[in-house]
Amino acid sequence: WAIMFIVLNAERLENELESTQRQFQKMATTDFLTGIANSRLFRESGEHEIQRTRRYNGTLAVLMIDLDYFKKVNDAYGHAVGDKVLVAFTDICKKNLRDFDIFGRLGGEEFAILLPQTETNNARILAERLCSIVARTDIEAEDKILRITVSIGVSVLLSEEDSLDKMLRRADDAMYEAKRNGRNQVAVAL
């Protein structure tokens, strides 16, 4: 009986250890507020997608998204309301993405979406749809109804590019172009 008890206890402890390791892995790669990929996982996944795109001669697009005037939301209503806005925005995006798209929070109110097997025009169409849906959505936060807008930059993997950073930089530049042109819109990197 003693040996059986030790074996069963060892199996239980091993299962608990594996479960704990999975929880730690999720905590290390997931944004705690929104539940989507954090910057680290997004970047690792992005580098993997670039390799896959190169291997299979595919296409890859990225959207850089920034919530317009988000600091004003936090300043006017507090960070708890700002957090609710971020979660609501994340939910809108998740409902409009494919299962294999990679959605991550890069920091603060800045997000990115990797779109495997997507060319410029289809990425722009998705970005415009997200921009429109976000602008029309009432976000309930405590006793307030808020509406937000987003500026989105689009870029695709160029033949000479070998890193996610270059692709993100071009999408980021396009996003700032959308902001300079009045916000609540999409700009495509040339």
Q: Which residues of 150-188 are buried (b: 16+ CB within 10 A; e: fewer)?
A: bbbbbbbbeeebeebeebbebbbebbebbbeeeebbbbb
User: Out of 109, 119, 128, 142, which one is annotated catalytic?
Assistant: 109
- C-alpha closest to that of 171 among 120, 135, 137: 120
- C-alpha closest to that of 51 among 123, 121, 116: 116
- Our answer to whether residue 142 is catalytic in this structure is no
- C-alpha closest to that of 91 among 111, 106, 116: 111
Q: Please, what's the largest Cα pairwise distance for the chain?
A: 76
90 in Cβ contact with 36 (< 8 Å): yes
* DSSP codes of every residue in 87-106: HHHHHHHHHTS-TT-EEEEE
User: In angstroms, what is the C-alpha Rg of the chain?
Assistant: 20
User: Residue 44: what residue type?
Assistant: E
Catalytic residues: 109
